Homo-oligomer: A and B are copies of this chain.
Amino acid sequence: MFLHRQELQHKVKPSKPDAVYARKLQEVLGGQYGEISVAMQYAFQAWNMHIPGKYRDMVFGIGAEEFGHVEMLATMIAQLLEKAPLGITSDAVQSDPTVAAVVGGTDIQHAIVAGAGARPVDSMGNPWQGSYITASGNLMADFHANANAEMQGRVQAVRLYHMTDDHGVRDLLKFLIARDTMHQNQWLAAIEDLKESGVESLPVPSNFPQSQEDTDVSYQYINFSDGGQAGDGRWASGPSIDGKGEFSYVAEPPAGVPMPPPTHPDSRFYGTTELPNVVEKVAGVIQDKLNRE
């Protein structure tokens, strides 16, 4: 159950209107790694989690925070748009290149569809979609997904920080960037916690018996490109990270096996085959069928 409070976690007040920047902010609201993504990702992970206790409590806790971040960004975007030129006639005369340039760089749907409001889309106008999120039921895998999401999110937020001089906007970003710092650390800490508690280890999923996999290629780096330095990394020699094998380096792919012969599905799919008599055969099948009817 979610309760809403008409407060924001942090002040949201731009110094001045900026419709182009409002569009850019949409990326961290409704983009692949925006706040809707992390809010929904954590919510689904919590709902699907198989363990009560600290992990689930924590995932519920951060999930609810992220819905509040969506709200802060939506509020900021609406304010950036409030008095900005959005193409209404008197402010959009195309002979003024400054205004035209601004209008050209805006999210056109901010004006036409939302009437100067925020939208559930990214900075290029792509609607947010459920396929952005990850909730597999395996916590080690999912916490890596979460760490990645917070890293990508912080990278995007600091890029956005450098795309404006507005003190009010930067003030909000400083807060969000700090939360991203925490949340990166939080998921990496949760990964450590999982390992320490023995609930899950590497490789993920750790309880699939490795005897069932082709262990001879489980720790081999095989180089399918011709870059010779691929063998110099940590991944090409020494003990594997999961502690269960030894890395080795294979400079180029060993000979493979021949492809199996092409398939020949039922002729009534009318794929092209080399058989010269396929027309006759199909016609025969149909004729037989007609005879039987």
Contacts and interface: CB of A to CB of B under 8 A. Distances in A.
Contacts of A40: 120
A285 to B, nearest CB: 9
Interface in A148-167: 148, 151-152, 154-156, 158-165
Interface string A275-290: 0101100110010010
A155 B200 CA distance: 13
Contacts of A43: 70-71, 74
Interface residues of A, number: 211
B1 A207 contact: no
A233 B124 contact: no
B1 A7 contact: yes
A241 to B, nearest CB: 4
Contact of A115 (B94, B175, B203, B269): B269
A114 B152 CA distance: 10
Given A127-B131, A152-B136, A200-B272, A189 B112 contact: no
A270 to B, nearest CB: 3
Nearest to A68: B1
Interface in A225-254: 225-235, 240-242, 245, 247, 252-253
Contacts of A24: 87, 108, 112
Contacts of A272: 49-51, 137-140, 194, 199-200
A266 B116 contact: yes
Interface string A12-52: 11000010100110010011100010001001100111111
B6 A259 contact: yes
Interface string A102-129: 1111111101111111111111111111
A249 B161 CA distance: 28
